[in-house]
Amino acid sequence: MYDESKEDIIDRIRGEKAKTRKGKVILKKREGEFHEGSKNCLFISSNKRTELLKNFMQDIYILRKPLTCYMPKLHQNLSNLLDKIDSLVDICIYNSCSFFFCIFSTKKNPSRFILGRLYNKNILDYYVFSLVSFIPFHIFPLSKEIISDTKPIVLIQGSYFDQTDVTKYLKNILFDFFKHRNVDSFTRNSIQRLIVLTAYERIVSIDNNCVNGTSNTSRGDSGENANKLGSDNLSSSVGIKGALTDNVGINNVGGKSNRSYRDVDGKNKYVISFRQYLLRKGVLSQTDKDIPELEEIGPRFEFTLENYKIPDYHLFQEAIKKADIPKKNKIKKVKVDEFGNSIKRVYVQKQNFTKLHTKHTKILKKTNKVNSKKGKHE
């Protein structure tokens, strides 16, 4: 039994016939689904955290609503989180979550968070990030205009995401996390948010003790315009006050303003920035030549990649594989309306009322005899 492959088990389950209605539902769930539903995310805190990390997780939780499971309390059993990924996976399985977002602090780096996902109730991959800077929701005046549970447009830019297999998987999980729910179709007026994730290189100038940022995006006019969206220079045109734009290092993590973004081994060479903008109704109706004016609604944060566990190649190919949907046999004389109700065409023979069977046949026979006698006397 343990030597059977996954396909053999599915074929064996399909061959079984349920004796009850409940058993039929259980066997149907075991077969799996052809279309993947929207993924829930578990937001959880480890045994140590800072107040900044708590506010950061709360803002990311607002972005993911309502596909969430929020656990803001400290969990003492999640100390040394990287060694206890299995316990985190068990919590995700118990709460029916495919994503997990956990914050934790250490002495060397007080602001770290981990983002991972599951496949078939097992860990697929996870990535450990270090939070560099963070500006919360409530500082932006237009943050209240956004409606929750709206699907955004996600733009991920930068040549960094195409360098290695690690960065390609990183791009995949970031898009999978911020795209929100899966929908078949949507209207133009329902799009209200634009999320821009930009990867750029920061080089430390030792002489001037300052940080210079150079972004790496694809060539062409579209890449240049997209680069403007993700840079800090856009903040002057998105309606944010000067006190906010001048001090981009507000809530700078670690308490050091001149932080080195390039380590000895080059791990923190690239920085990923997150920006969210509000799309007005007239923005999408403009021509391609017009550059839309975007208004930032927050939150704004920057983070770097520290550690990772990429998925196995064959397991990842199995996770993204699209199942072959069997074609349904067309049923004759059956139509489905717009509301999903099946309308069937049935042909009924003409009724012969003389041969109509009724319950009280004796009474009818008596009345027929009385009527026949009256006719004779007349």
Distance between CA atoms of residues 305 and 164, nearest Å:
13
Instruction: Outline where DSSP puts E strands in the chain.
Output: 41-45, 68-74, 99-104, 112-119, 122-135, 153-157, 193-205, 210-215, 270-278, 295-296, 300-309, 334-336, 342-344
What one-character DSSP code corresponds to residue 226?
H
**Cβ 217 vs Cβ 197: under 8 Å:** no
Per-residue confidence (pLDDT) for residue 112, from 0 to 100? 94
Please report the pLDDT score of residue 203 as a whole number. 63
Cα dihedral 136, 167, 96, 320 sign = positive
Q: Where are the domains of the chain?
A: 107-319
* pLDDT string in tens for the chain (378-residue length): 456 666 666 666 666 777 888 888 887 777 767 778 889 999 999 989 999 999 999 999 999 999 999 998 998 888 888 888 999 999 999 999 999 999 999 888 889 999 999 998 899 999 999 999 999 999 998 887 777 778 899 999 999 999 999 999 999 999 999 998 888 888 877 888 899 999 998 765 444 444 444 444 433 333 344 434 344 433 333 333 333 433 333 455 544 433 333 443 445 689 999 999 988 766 666 566 666 778 899 899 999 999 999 999 999 998 888 888 888 788 888 888 888 888 988 888 887 777 766 666 666 666 666 666 666 555
The pairing of strands 295-296 and 270-278 is: antiparallel
Which residue shows structure tokens 């809530």? Answer: 251
CA distances from residue 362 to 158, 355, 367 in whole angstroms, order as listed: 91, 14, 9
Which residues touch 319 (CB under 8 Å, ≥6 apart)?
Answer: 119, 120, 124, 311
Q: How big is the chain by its Cα radius of gyration, in Å?
A: 31
Classified as helix, coil or strand, 134 is: strand
Q: What is the pLDDT of residue 25?
A: 84
